[in-house]
Amino acid sequence: MKHRLQHFWLVLIVATIALFINGCSSLVPVRTKQDVEDLTTLEEIKGPEIDYAKALKDGATVLTPEGEGKVELVSIGELELTSGKVIACDALVFYNAKPFTQKVPPGTYPVKLAVVESNKTKRNALAAIIFSNEPTVRWENARPETQLETEENEMFAYGVDSGSGSFMDYERGREFLKLLGQNTPASKALDDQIVTELEKKRKAGSSDWAKISAPGIKGSVFIFGSGEGDGAYTSFFGFDASGNVTTLVTDFGIIALSIEQEAAS
pLDDT, position 66: 81
Please write the tens of the pLDDT for every residue from 230-263: 999 999 999 999 999 999 999 999 987 655 544 4
| Residue 234 DSSP one-character state | E
> Where is average pLDDT lowest: 62-71, 187-196, 221-230?
62-71
Which residues, at least 6 apart from 141, have a Cβ–Cβ distance to it below 8 Å? 47, 48, 155, 156, 234, 235, 236
pLDDT of 212 > 70? The answer is yes
CA distances 124 to 45, 52, 207, 228, 250, Å, are 26, 14, 6, 8, 10
Structural domain range at position 133: 2-264
Count the domains in the chain: 1
b/e string for 173-194 if b means 16 or more Cβ within 10 A? bbbbbebbeeeeeebeebeeeb
Which amino acid belongs to residue 230?
A: D
Give the percent of the chain with pLDDT over 90.
60
pLDDT of 113 > 80? The answer is yes
Q: Is the pTM of this model over 0.75?
A: yes
